[in-house]
Structure formats: structure tokens, C-alpha cells
Amino acid sequence: MHKVHKGLTADGAGLAGDRVVAAGSAARVLVGATARALRGEDCADLGHTGPTSRFPGAPEPVRRAAVTRAAGRVALTVSQVDEVDAARVARWFVDQYPRRRYPGVLIGSPHGAAAHLAVALGVPWLPAGFEMTVHWSDGAVDRPADALEHGEALATRLLAGNADLHLRQVHCPASRGPLTGATVSLTAAWRALPAAYAQFLADRLVPGAPVLLVRDARTWPVLERGPGHSFQVGSPASGLDPVDFHPDSHALRQVLRSVGGDAARWEPPEVSVPSGYAEHGVDSGFELAARDWSARHEHPLHRVLVPRPAALSAGVADLYRRWLRGAGKTGDRLVVECGRLLDPWQVVRAGLVPYWCENATRRSVDEAEWWLAGSEAFSSVDVLPEPPGVRSPALAGLPQWLAVAGFGRRRRALDRTTARGYPVTSVPTRRATEVLRAQPYDLPAPPSLGAAEALAVLRDSGGHQGLLVS
């Protein structure tokens, strides 16, 4: 019998939808958003809030307690770890998509612009892994060595029933805040093509349809703890650098103080790989299996190597502008999305150009500003900053988000709901839908792009930013 959480259903309800693929996780949100867009539906029912406090004015201890309680609603208990079945998670992903033939598929690292690219091509997007959080009852944000010890025991249990996974444990108070002390965060990467994916590609792709593999090429210091398990202190998504997680770092002291930790207790374990792929990289075994499947079934495979999230965001935004203008639309209105706040169908419905920021860090927003400064001006710019729910010296302030909106010639809009209580509140993912629904209709949608045309535009516009398309 399959190992599976009780409550697993085809539509993702129950524990498989809400816990194994953690509520609000990148993989679940992006698959859901892409699948709905391919049906001509928006993301109004993707209402994940994320485990952050909704009471920005509350004292820090109260807010951290609220975070811990919220984490309990989405995290696995230790006893549930043995029930995780990665094969069923893969099947859940493919089952979200309409049952029809597709002219291609995108697979690989999670990225909001990849979801928009998939919609422009009229193809599904499938992740190369998924995320899990597991309760850590006696955890602490300032004890990464203890987190490693606890995570190692969890990894052993998970891998016993899921030998095709590699588990990357990430301990990052700068991006996960108080959750770092309440849960263990594991990014599970498939080391081979899941059977559900192989069946989906065989059944749903038209003959000769291309496979596009998007790979996050960012690196980070890593400790290879054992077969199938590695450990990472900090994350590129934090907006900080590896040196900022050194015990003597001023930035680390600020972060730990904001989440109730003490820098004096911070003793990270030694790394074994100074420059390994970060948590959202694609496992080499998965890529090799995808290449092998594509060759055997005569589907060309193209790789899009992404050195920074902004490189793909800029390339896809330029692609959308050309696509819209090729269909007789203005391509003159921009929406800057952030994190989980995106809605590919509403973007297409309104004829908008999407630019996606990975998160609300200064680094992400800086790159959005640089891209806007070098682009033809937009008549309107709408900005949806996702409050991260944590304080960090790496975060962009509201004035910087306002500066992004200021690039609009006629309309400059920063969503007030997401700005209220920024950065420590949380907003549901449906907030993007609510904002974008107010945009005027610009239908019909342009005909789907061909993969060859899209790849040519990405090479042209993304090459100078380091985007490598093969």
C-alpha cells in the first residue's frame, strides 16, 4: 500500500495539500497559479496566509508565540514524517493540470516568472522538488547545530521511504524569522524524474514538444551531512551574504535580536562545500533523468540557467511586452509582483507586463529598479510588495517600493493593504487577485507563444544579465 496522509484527495485538500506541500510553499502556489491560468481562472481560492503574525503592533514575544501557533497548522508532526510519500506529492502536482495535450512543459526551480512564462507558452510548470516543515518542539533560532542534529534524525526517517529524494535543511532566521526556532525546514529535491512526471509527459505532450528546464544557479556554503541530506545556514533568499551569518556579523545580531535569539549562542557547524548549489537548485540526477527521457522520446530539452532571480524576471517581462505588442496591445502597463503575490491569469486578462520579485529584500527591489531604469517607460506601474513577516536589515523599506511605483508615467500605485503593517504583517495570496481584478479588461488574450520564439527573446534580453539559454 502507498504511504499517504489520511485526507489526501485529488484536489489537494487534506494533509497532503496543506502539510506535505506546505501551505503557501513556493511549489504549491506556483503549480496552483499556473494550472488555474491554463483553465482561464484566477488565484482567488489560493488564500494561504503563511505562518506570520497579523498583529504588527503586538509585543515581540506575543508575535513570536502567534507565529509558533500558526506554524502548527501547516507543519508535520514528527510522527507524520514516516507517512510522507514523495511519489504521491508528484502525482498531486500533475493532477492539477487540465487533461489535454500541451505544446511543451516547463520543469525545474520555483520562480514566479517561470509561471508567467508557462502561461504565455500555454504549457504546465512542474517543480523539481517541494518544501516541508516539521515541528521542532524544543528548538531555538540561535542554535543551528541543534537544528542540524534534529534534522538529521528526521532526514533518516524521510529517506527510508523516499530514496529518490535529496533533503536540504535550511536554518535561516533572516528569511524564516521565529519559525526557525519552531520548525525544521526541508527542501526535498527529486534525484530522478518521478514516475508521475514521466507518465504525464508521455501522455500529455504533443509529438516533438520541447521540455524547458529552469535551473536556479545560485550557490551557498553547504554541509553535506550524509547520503541524501545536506545542511545550509542562511539562504540567498534572505538578501544577505554567507558572511552575514558569521557569529561576529552585525546583521546577524540584528536579525537574532528581532526574533528573540541571542548571537552569543550562535555556533554554526563547519561547511564541507564552500560553494554548493543553494536550496532551490535542481539536483543533477533529476536533470540527467529529464535529458534521458527527452532523448529517448524525441523531445528537445532546453536549459535556462538563472544566475539571479531578477535575470529571469527581466527576461520574461521583456518577453511579455513583445508578445502583447505583437498582438496589437500596448504592453505599456506593468505589475511588480512579489513572493506569493502573483496571478498569471489576471495578468493575461488585463494585458499587463509582469515583473516578479522573489521577496521584499533590498537586493530584489534594487534589481527591479535597475531594470525599470533601463527599460522603455511604462504608463502605469502597480506594485504588490509581500510583507515578509520578519524584520531584517536586508529588507526594502516602503519608500523604496514607492520609488518602484514612481517609474509609472501616469499611474503609480503601491497596494495599501500589503503596505499596511509592512513588514511584519501577512496577507493571503488572493490579495494579488483582488488588486489585479480592478484592472481594465484587455481581451482576447494573445495566441500562445512558440517555445522557439520565447527562447530567442530570452537569449536576446536576458543574455546581458547572465541568463544562459541552451
Decide: 365 and 321 in contact? Cβ < 8 Å. no
Distance CA 360, CA 387 (A): 7
Rounded to whole angstroms, how far apart are CA atoms 197 and 299?
14
Least Cα distance to 79 among 132, 130, 135, 133 occurs for 135
H helices of 385-450, in order, are: 398-405, 416-419, 430-436
Distance from C-alpha of 108 to C-alpha of 97, rounded to nearest angstrom:
17
pLDDT of 73 reads 56
Q: Give the number of other CB atoms < 10 A from CB of residue 195.
A: 12
Pairing of strands 301-306, 211-216: parallel
Give the C-alpha distances (Å, rounded to integers) separating 117 from 39, 107, 112, 214, 387.
15, 11, 9, 11, 25
- CA 109 to chain CA centroid, Å, is 8
Q: What is the pLDDT of residue 47?
A: 60
Q: In the sheet where 380-383 sits, what is the strand order? A: 353-357, 333-338, 380-383, 411-414
- The per-residue pLDDT for 384 is 97
Strand partners, 232: 170
Q: CB of 413 within 8 A of CB of 439?
A: no
Mean pLDDT value of segment 176-202: 95
pLDDT at 56 over 80: no
Cis peptide before 51 (omega within 30 of 0): no
Contacting residues for 406 by C-beta, under 8 A, at least 6 apart: 381, 412
Q: Rounded distance, CA 335 to CA 446, Å?
A: 18
pLDDT tens-digit readout, 126-151: 999 999 999 998 899 999 999 999 99
Look up residue 341 and give its DSSP letter.
Answer: B
Q: Does the structure show a pLDDT above 60 at 18?
A: no
The predicted-structure confidence for 218-262, as pLDDT tens digits, reads as follows 999 999 998 899 999 999 999 999 999 999 999 999 999 999 999
pTM for this entry: 0.92
pLDDT reported for residue 49: 52
Residue length of the chain = 470
